[in-house]
Structure 1
């Protein structure tokens, strides 16, 4: 298994210092030079492989990465439990060319520079020509490096739109650095062409356990498909060009047709089993229980450390989960006949099983007791400690400690690409191109597969898994969007989905809500309450990040995004 590490690493225009492993300890670390790193006598490419592993460490990861908060705390799915956190700038319009706590521009261009240094210098390494396995390994490394460069560009265009494309160049202080932005479509075409170019040279699937985490052919197909979906979505496809949706649909079908991936039988195991059939690409992390201590309810203590409860899911997210029959809870609220089993006086019973694996609610079992988020409960004491603002805490990604007494180390790889996302994106693209359809290859098939794995009851036609036949394309679009919301919660999907669908201005400019629970004896009463938290979206400005002022000020050819000064 590859480990993504972050050794001390510095890059300048004219010199490079690299430290990666004990194998380099034959000279002082500050004396490691380019000549030593790209050693023509290093016939196994050992030093170059350490350099590449360092680039792997720059892949995106999502747990509590912005001032201790998840990016989803900047959507309608959650709010930060603490006041005055940096994540709040994403919901009050506070990020700007001078302030952005998700500074992807500098981070990704630094990573792209590393990739280009690899492209430039790896040919100097004379791999052992008498050993075909070593030669093939070198081909893999070159292709992996190009993939990594492509995904760093993908991370940039999600945030900024079109950005300058550098190709293979490693710019120096002597070069003209006043590069203009390439168009968004130029950037997408570059990512797609890079993926197409390297697929033949990447490792085949399935990858051996010892190499898990490295880039394979199917992972490159997935990045290509994700980039084409981004290009087809309303934010980047104002004319609703169906040709773009068709390209995305075909690319997603290519991923599905590989047959490499499938839905894990257990939704929980997707995030707890290091190598499974559903995760396509994940950021590889050491075994930890930091997700638990950062996000579990505040009344629980692991040793001497209290859980911090940083993430407070909203009532909006909780209400998005259907009933065990797959029907919206509003079906009961409107009919009064209670056909789905939803009960407002017992709101968490008879619900989609994913709810209990995504959100801690009052009465859920954890560390050998029930969660208490009623007023004055151990997990909402109403004292000076930071606690839930909504009556909920994030549960997703955590192991089953319902009857344990303390946390233990677990696999907490962060999912970058997973198969459920691909199936939902395929359903989305297919719906835009062909409509919902009927039969074995209809949009219904893919949504029902997701819901079946979730544990929703099948029911009977024409309402199988709560998905009624005869939906229009518009109605199906809303079903798909809600299914993405509940299936992919807290995976850094909702933030970007709201933008690519270009509906953020409708979603954000509303009040968010939580649940206030009062207990009298053994009786609980539930009251939805409005949160006094600014939740604003200024269109069109906030659909893109601002290019950092430091870049704009030194490059007259770099045009700022709309709405920023």
Structure 2
């Protein structure tokens, strides 16, 4: 807390050089004395406030990539693999209180110190008036950016820890011991504070970036409003809206930290926020992505795949609401892509070792836009049987190749998101067959650099990635989509269902996402092909449909991890075994045997929230620990 004349160390990221977006790495160390003497110094401190943003594309820092059940890796981790063990320890149920993993409260075990980030944001807001040569318009805009960052850091902590302290202003060095020992605040109070900050910021922020050469990555009004929608949907969801598990979490001053009764009005607020954000996005031309390169000679099927893959990977495309510029996808591409070109079989790069699980492969729809166990035209019971691809599967599966029936007649998002033994991987420099059985080009070759399940997350790899001589010689990096329009559309559908049930309002944006994905509308799919066509006619049934739609559309983007928690579905889903194929086998009849990889553990209600570090509770006895820790 003693910060007078203290040198504030700027957190530095490893950042690949690029000239077309915000570089948030300051070029020296700012001090409180000189940080606001002029515009240039103040801008460095602005970048310091940005520098705490968690790197969502980084498998080391984002628990939502390797900490759940979407992506898996072999175990134990080898030193040459460049894989982190920390997120996977969370997935394996090994979180703890002595030194918590991905600790964003204190900032260790690969987590950033977000409370320090909040203090730096407060310093900026307190001292920005000292920069006498700063244009008033720009000062107002920067204040809006930092107000938003304050809101986002509070939100990030609240999503992990639930009720948290509100850091509205920094505590002076003259504060008493009791003033320093702050309390966690009730979840609804924290929410109101976050929303008030975002509303204030939105009035100051531009609708869009004008100088795209230097300012991409700065916060805009659509970003602020979209994150506000995400916040309000989260707190309206079962985890924080009348969750009886948290009835007894009370401060030592008697303040209850969680509401006991579910409040339907929270969904109304969430829906209104989604609608406001959608209008703000569409007003500036943000829309669902379509691959527009007419010079590329590809089939309609491949063009649809480019629509879906490049909604994520095409840099600064028209669907992107908020793209994160530090950690722009290069590392995760190397981890996702196997060695496609058999002429360059080196284990060095790419590695292809973050692997979709079998259950995630099963969760995508059939070609009729239905869950595989719901489509009466699809053989669910025979999904693990062998089948050889004919002409009708051309462009999806290698002709004449034998693979699992599970891989046939699936929706376009399955083929654009997941590669499997027998799949085709379209890239700018060619169409590459994926063959992953023992001895084949994409099979296991050593102790690292292989898929433990037999699947690869194709969606995460930009189509311009080229490898020669075992090294990536061309890869187009992309800003990680913290928020894109399809996500916002599906949040709207979820909130609308909670307010109106099945209705035109609920189906509107849900169907827009589906049509772009190349599948029928919800009504068409369930009326014409479903075993239980009445499911979408009631709120509970449609809720399950919307949940699965989010999973298919946003697969591997880091949403399922948090969605399962806010829906209170994690205890159900994350206690299921992790399965893959028997990747050590040479022949299809042996390879396509479902193999248990790990029996996952999720202890409810404990694991829904992060633990506060044990030492932090000793230092500040006014903090109460989360349930079960």
> What TM-score, normalized to structure 1?
0.85
Corresponding position of 1:54: 48
Q: 2:586 aligned with 1:527, yes or no?
A: no
- Aligned partner of 2:229 among 222, 225, 229: 225
Q: Does structure 1 conserve the Cα–Cα contact (< 8 Å) formed by 2:580 and 2:596? A: yes
Does residue 1:474 correspond to 2:540, yes or no? yes
Please state if 1:251 is matched with 2:273. Answer: yes
* Structure 1 residue 304, shift from structure 2 partner: 8.1
Among 305, 316, 325, which residue is 2:368 paired with? Answer: 325
User: What CA deviation, in whole Å up to 9, does each residue of 1:507-534 have, x standing for no partner?
Assistant: 11221211236554xx666634242313
1:451 shift after superposition:
1.3
In structure 2, what is the equivalent of residue 36 of structure 1?
34
Deviation, structure 1 residue 407: 4.6
2:466, 2:475 within 8 Å by CA — same for their partners in 1?
A: no
- Taking the aligned partners of 2:9 and 2:528, their CA distance within structure 1 comes to 54
In the alignment, the residues of structure 2 paired with residue 483 and residue 459 of structure 1 have an alpha-carbon distance, to the nearest angstrom, of 10
Does residue 1:113 correspond to 2:119, yes or no?
Answer: yes
Whether the 8 Å CA contact 1:360–1:393 is kept in 2: the answer is yes
SS at match of 2:582: strand
| 1:484 paired residue number | 550
Call closer, same or farther: CA 1:532–1:463 in 2, change over 3 Å. Answer: closer
Decide whether aligned partners of structure 1 residues 172 and 387 sit closer, same or farther in structure 2, where only a CA change above 3 A counts.
farther
Counterpart Cα distance in 2 of 1:111 and 1:54:
8
Deviation at 1:551, TM superposition (A): 1.4
Report the number of matched residues: 530
Which residues of 2 match residues 108-147 of structure 1 at below 5 A?
108-127=114-133, 134-147=135-148
Query: In the aligned structure 2, how far is the partner of 1:492 from the partner of 1:220?
Result: 19
Task: Please give the secondary structure, in 1, of the residue aligned with 2:355.
Answer: strand
The answer to whether the Cα contact below 8 Å between 1:362 and 1:392 also exists between their aligned partners in 2 is: yes
TM-score normalised by length of structure 2: 0.77
| Alpha carbons of structure 1 residues 306 and 466: separation in structure 2 relative to 1, 3 Å | farther
3-state SS of paired residue (2:224): helix
Matches of 2:126 and 2:328 in 1, distance apart?
Answer: 35
Aligned to 2:443: 380
CA-to-partner distance for each residue in 1:341-395, whole Å, 9 max, x for gaps?
9998443233222223322211234576422222333322364335222111222
Contact 2:58 2:327 (C-alpha < 8 Å) held by counterparts: no
Shift of 1:455: 2.1
Equivalent residues in 2 for 1:85-484, closer than 5 Å: 85-106=85-106, 107-127=113-133, 134-172=135-173, 174-175=175-176, 176-205=179-208, 207-210=210-213, 211-238=215-242, 239-258=261-280, 259=282, 260=284, 261-265=286-290, 266-285=307-326, 289-297=330-338, 301=344, 305-330=348-373, 331=375, 332-334=378-380, 345-366=404-425, 369-381=432-444, 383-400=446-463, 405=468, 406-437=472-503, 441-456=504-519, 461=524, 463=526, 470-484=536-550
Separation (CA, whole Å) in 2 of partners of 1:152 and 1:402? 33
Residue 556 (structure 1) aligns with: 621
For residues 464 and 348 of structure 1, the distance between their equivalents in structure 2, rounded to whole angstroms, comes to 24
Tell me, yes or no, if the aligned pair for 2:147 and 2:201 is still in contact at 8 Å: yes
Report the Cα distance in structure 2 between the residues aligned to 1:464 and 1:281, rounded to whole angstroms.
36
Tell me how far apart the structure 2 counterparts of residues 458 and 161 of structure 1 sit (CA, whole Å).
Answer: 36
1:194-231 CA-to-partner distances (Å, cap 9, x unmatched) read: 11122211112365424322111222211221111111
Distance 2:415 2:225 in 1: 33
- Secondary structure of the corresponding residue to residue 139 of structure 1: helix
Q: Tell me what 2:57 maps to.
A: 63
- Compute the displacement of 1:288 (Å): 6.8
Quick one: distance in 2 between partners of 1:156 and 1:91? 19
1:3 corresponds to which residue? Answer: none
1:519-562 deviation line (CA, Å, top 9, x unaligned):
54xx6666342423130111111011001123111001011111
1:250, distance to aligned residue in structure 2 (A): 0.7
* Equivalence for 2:609: 544
Deviation at 1:148, TM superposition (A): 0.4
Structure 1: where are the runs of 5+ without partners?
1-10, 22-27, 129-133
**Alpha-carbon shift at residue 335 of structure 1 (Å):** 8.4
Partner of 2:245: none
Alpha-carbon RMSD across the aligned residues, in angstroms, is 3.2
Partner of 1:509: 575
Distance 1:273 1:532 in 2: 34
Query: Partners of 1:386 and 1:335 in 2: how far apart?
Result: 33
Determine the structure 1 residue equivalent to 2:69.
76
Check the 8 A contact 1:61/1:416 in 2, yes or no: no
Structure 1 CA distance for aligned equivalents of residues 544 and 312 of structure 2: 26
Which range is displaced more, 107-116 or 452-461?
452-461
Q: Partners of 2:404 and 2:160 in 1: how far apart?
A: 42
For 1:101 and 1:361, locate their aligned partners in 2 and report how far apart those are by CA, in whole Å. Answer: 32
- Pick closer, same or farther for the CA change 1:117–1:79 going to 2, 3 Å: same
Q: Unpaired runs of 5+ in structure 2? A: 13-26, 78-84, 107-112, 243-260, 291-306, 386-391, 394-401
The verdict on how the C-alpha distance between 1:304 and 1:543 changes in structure 2, with shifts beyond 3 A counting, is closer
